[in-house]
Amino acid sequence: MDRRLFLSATAACLALGPARATQAFSFPSIDGGTYDLLAWRGQPLLVVNTASLCGFTGQYDGLQRVHEAYAGRARVLAVPSDDFAQELGSEAEVAAFCEVNFGLTLPMTTIQPVRGPRAHPFYRWLATAHRFTPQWNFNKVLLDADGALVATWGSRPEPMGRRIRSAIDGLLSA
């Protein structure tokens, strides 16, 4: 992560306060360009750290179904990470793997650290402000339409499972 980008995101977080801190973050897209969370304001967001070679990789199917079921009302963002040594070697390999095996059309970032001092600023914010750090691949984070943290889950809950869908539905009906 570029030091200037990190400092800019950190300054924006401090200015916005903890409830809206996530709105200041952006992620590089695996397809080029950038995902700016400010552009997604007004919709709940499910952020999931992923890995192509993990035993939970089958959850990509559920993430795609969430993406399709809530299209236009909520967002899903997959964040590939090699923090647990289970990701492929390049973004091109990850993109091809996900397209061929899962037909993914949901937004996906480049490979990002999600733990420790090199973690993407979004994940550092989660660790600092909310004491949440992914303990394994496919940990899930749900943010409300204003970017406030609503819930976190470990690897086991299925993306289309009752717990996660109920939380998203609750945000949409509020």
**What does the pLDDT look like over 85-103, one tens digit per residue?**
999 999 999 999 999 999 9
Domain locations along the chain = 3-173
**Quick one: average pLDDT of 68-86?**
98
SS3 99: helix
Catalytic residue list: 54
CA–chain centroid gap for 79, Å, is 5
Calpha distance 29→74 (Å, rounded): 18
Q: Which pLDDT score, from 0 to 100, does residue 119 have? A: 98
Q: Which pLDDT score, from 0 to 100, does residue 9 have? A: 44
- Residue pLDDT, tens place only, 132-174: 999 999 999 999 999 999 999 999 999 999 999 999 999 999 8
- Residue pLDDT, tens place only, 118-142: 999 999 999 999 999 999 999 999 9
Return the bridge partners of 3, or none. none
Fold for 3-173, please state it: Glutaredoxin (3.40.30)
DSSP 32: S
- Residue pLDDT, tens place only, 18-63: 444 445 899 999 999 999 999 999 999 999 999 999 999 999 999 9
How buried is 69 (Cβ within 10 angstroms: 0-12 exposed, 13-18 middle, 19+ buried)? middle
Q: Which pLDDT score, from 0 to 100, does residue 24 have? A: 82
Q: How far apart are the first and last CA of the chain?
A: 36
Q: Which pLDDT score, from 0 to 100, does residue 86 have? A: 98
Q: Report yes or no: 69 and 161 within 8 Å, Cβ to Cβ.
A: no
Q: Which pLDDT score, from 0 to 100, does residue 174 have? A: 86
